[in-house]
């Protein structure tokens, strides 16, 4: 038998829910009867194996669906997990209730770590069987969003684009092309605006209702718990947003002003934001298959562990990078835990974005690959803000090798990348501030939500001006941001992580080998600690610590001479 099957060769079989529940109940009975911590530990490991096999099939089905959202078969499989999800969750919660109240808890914590128990305590506060139907309704609304967005077609100069491929024109050196592309996208989104409003209105209502049934005042606290945030709350996040507004928004405004000057325009607008000079954005000097070869050289140069990792990814065909009709938008990395391998999904569009998406997702994948020695599946991936340190960290740490993709344009790429890293944070913070406002007022109308977005835009993106984009001008451009629909409160994670990734960037400028050593150590730790403790373990500062935002941003500003 082939012991290293490619993605296409991975066996897929829809799990049998009844069998899963029977096995889970049997493990629970044994857990309750177990007399020692050692016996309980062994049962936890068996339970972990059972969960891994379910999640492996689920991830394979998810990838199939994302690869072809128009396939009825793939959709049926995806829906199976959406329907079975609450029953599986219910069995997990039953098991966790006994496990977390075990008389042997402290011995078990000493053996498998406190973090797993912290995560499980948190999980227990996010589910009751009473919300099972709401969860199914939420999953169905999320799928509707995905399908609606994947089906959007944008006509531009006789060509038909998807939301993914149209992005390739946003950085065009010709201002007229950029403006026309943005206007075309704006028109296509405007056609779906009411449908997207209605979907979000239902999602917010559904989430608020679940929170009420679980005893929360609003969805906000439940949302934080669903993100498994155990070491900070919305209070620290609000302080972080305030620091971003005070320190980073002014720098981002200076970056925008310098771009406007370089472009020689007095009416700088949204369609100019992707370019920093009259040459347009640098593009990789070849197609997707050429990029893969360059990436192999990149990872070879980064060290034997990176080289082994990437050779394996290519050999086993664990990369789906090119845009196709019907393929869902965006990029992500997932894993098939039975097989101990990650998988990367992206939508290349021929610009510098491809390199960023690629190094970003490879950061996730390398971390997942590095953490395979962790004993529990809960420890393979950390919580999301920590995950994004691996991905955004690798984007910046691969800087010395960017000539491989951009040749003489590498310096232009690096400066632009740093500017983008910085200007992204106010946008990400706006997305977070918006969601807090939305869930504070779940009864708001779609029009009131549009006003909320315009208000956060004024706070965090004060330079933003739309030209010939009435849909965006009307306060609905956030509908393009899939996290707002798919994963509430998952977005500030990128901003927190960027402040950590920039610390890696700064360390690497002083001593690349030392920075890489710390990066590897962080990847090896997986999710065995909460976010702030992971940072501490490798000598990074928490972005919640007073003064850290100012320090990190100051260093980047000095580099940019701003």
Q: Which is nearer to Zn ion, 364 or 464 (CB)?
A: 364
Q: What is the largest CA-CA distance in the chain?
A: 76
E-only strand ranges, 327-435: 332-336, 341-348
Question: Closer to Zn ion at the Cβ: 196 or 365?
Answer: 365
Do 62 and 330 touch, CB atoms closer than 8 A? no
Least distance between Zn ion and beta carbon 391 (Å)? 4
Question: Which candidate, 494, 492, 501, 491, places its Cα nearest to that of 535?
Answer: 501
Q: Judged by CB, which is closer to Zn ion: 256, or 360?
A: 360
CB of 525 to Zn ion, least distance (A): 17
**CA 210/CA 224 separation, integer angstroms:** 14
Helices (H), 511-559: 512-525, 531-537, 548-559
- Give the shortest CB-384-to-Zn ion separation in angstroms: 8
* SS3 state at 206: helix
Which residues face 154 on adjacent strands?
Answer: 161
C-beta closer to Zn ion: residue 88 or 422: 422
Q: From the centroid of its chain, how far is CA 323? A: 19
Report in angstroms how near the CB of residue 126 gets to Zn ion at its nearest: 22
Query: For residues 331 and 416, which CB has a smaller minimum distance to Zn ion in the complex?
Result: 331
Nearer of residues 66 and 391 to Zn ion, judged by Cβ: 391
The minimum distance between CB 291 and Zn ion, in angstroms, equals: 19
Nearer to Zn ion, 28 or 431 (CB): 431
At closest approach, how far in Å is the CB of 550 from Zn ion?
Answer: 25
Nearest alpha carbon to residue 385 among 307, 310, 497: 497
Based on CB atoms, which residue is closest to Zn ion, 367 or 391?
Answer: 391
Instruction: Tell the smallest beta-carbon distance from residue 326 to Zn ion (Å).
Output: 23
Contact residues: Zn ion, CB under 5 A? 391
Which residue in the shown chain puts its C-beta closest to Zn ion? Answer: 391
Smallest gap from Cβ 131 to Zn ion, in A, equals 28
DSSP string, 504-516: HHHHHHH-HHHHH
Query: 156 forms bridges with which residues in the sheet?
Result: 159
Phi, psi (degrees; rounded to nearest 5) at 527: -110, 30
CA 59 vs CA 68, 227, 242, 395: distances in Å:
14, 19, 37, 25
Contacts of 166 (CB under 8 A, 6+ apart): 154, 156, 181, 184, 185
Q: How long is the chain?
A: 562
């Amino acid at each position: 038998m082939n012991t290293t099957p490619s993605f296409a060769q991975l066996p897929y079989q829809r799990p049998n829910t009844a069998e899963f529940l029977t096995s889970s109940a049997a493990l629970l009975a044994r857990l309750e009867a177990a007399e020692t911590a050692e016996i309980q530990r062994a049962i936890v490991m068996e339970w972990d194996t059972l969960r891994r096999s379910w999640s492996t099939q689920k991830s394979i089905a998810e990838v199939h669906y994302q690869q072809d959202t128009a396939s009825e078969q793939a959709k049926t499989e995806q829906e199976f997990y959406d329907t079975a999800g609450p029953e599986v969750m219910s069995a997990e919660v039953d098991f966790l209730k006994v496990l977390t109240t075990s008389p042997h808890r402290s011995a078990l914590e000493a053996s498998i770590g406190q973090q797993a128990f912290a995560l499980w305590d948190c999980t227990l506060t996010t589910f009751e069987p009473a919300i099972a139907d709401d969860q199914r309704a939420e999953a169905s609304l999320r799928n509707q969003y995905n399908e609606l967005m994947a089906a959007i077609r944008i006509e531009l100069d006789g060509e038909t684009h998807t939301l993914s491929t149209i992005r390739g024109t946003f950085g065009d050196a010709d201002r007229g092309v950029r403006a026309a592309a943005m206007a075309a996208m704006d028109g296509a989104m405007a056609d779906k605006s009411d449908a997207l409003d209605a979907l979000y209105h239902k999602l917010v209502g559904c989430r608020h209702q679940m929170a009420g049934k679980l005893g929360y005042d609003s969805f906000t606290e439940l949302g934080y718990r669903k993100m498994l945030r155990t070491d900070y709350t919305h209070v620290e996040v609000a302080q972080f947003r305030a620091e971003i507004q005070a320190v980073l928004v002014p720098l981002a405004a200076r970056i925008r002003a310098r771009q406007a000057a370089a472009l020689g325009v007095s009416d700088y607008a949204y369609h100019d934001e992707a370019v920093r000079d009259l040459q347009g954005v640098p593009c990789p000097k070849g197609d997707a298959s050429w990029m893969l070869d360059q990436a192999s050289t990149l990872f070879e140069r980064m060290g034997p562990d990176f080289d082994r990792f990437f050779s394996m990814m290519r050999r086993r065909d664990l990369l789906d990078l090119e845009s196709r009709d019907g393929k869902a938008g965006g990029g992500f990395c997932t894993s098939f835990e039975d097989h101990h391998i990650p998988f990367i999904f992206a939508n290349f569009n021929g610009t510098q974005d491809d390199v960023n998406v690629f190094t970003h997702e490879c950061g996730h994948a390398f971390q997942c690959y590095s953490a395979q020695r962790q004993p529990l599946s809960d420890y393979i991936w950390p919580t999301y803000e920590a995950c994004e340190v691996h991905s955004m960290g690798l984007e910046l740490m691969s800087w010395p090798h960017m000539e491989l993709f951009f040749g003489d344009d590498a310096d232009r790429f690096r400066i632009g990348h740093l500017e983008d890293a910085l200007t992204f944070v106010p946008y990400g913070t706006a997305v977070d501030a918006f969601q807090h406002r939305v869930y504070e007022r779940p009864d708001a109308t779609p029009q009131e939500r549009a006003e909320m977005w315009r208000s956060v835009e004024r706070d965090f993106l004060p330079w933003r001006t739309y030209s010939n984009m009435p849909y965006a001008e009307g306060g609905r451009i956030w509908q393009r941001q899939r996290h707002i629909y798919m994963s509430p409160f998952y977005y500030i994670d990128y901003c927190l992580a960027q402040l950590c990734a920039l610390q890696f960037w700064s360390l690497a400028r002083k001593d690349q080998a030392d920075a890489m050593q710390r990066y590897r150590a962080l990847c090896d730790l997986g999710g065995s600690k909460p976010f702030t403790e992971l940072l501490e373990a490798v000598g990074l500062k928490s972005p919640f610590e007073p003064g850290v935002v100012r320090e990190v941003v100051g260093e980047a500003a000095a580099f940019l001479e701003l």
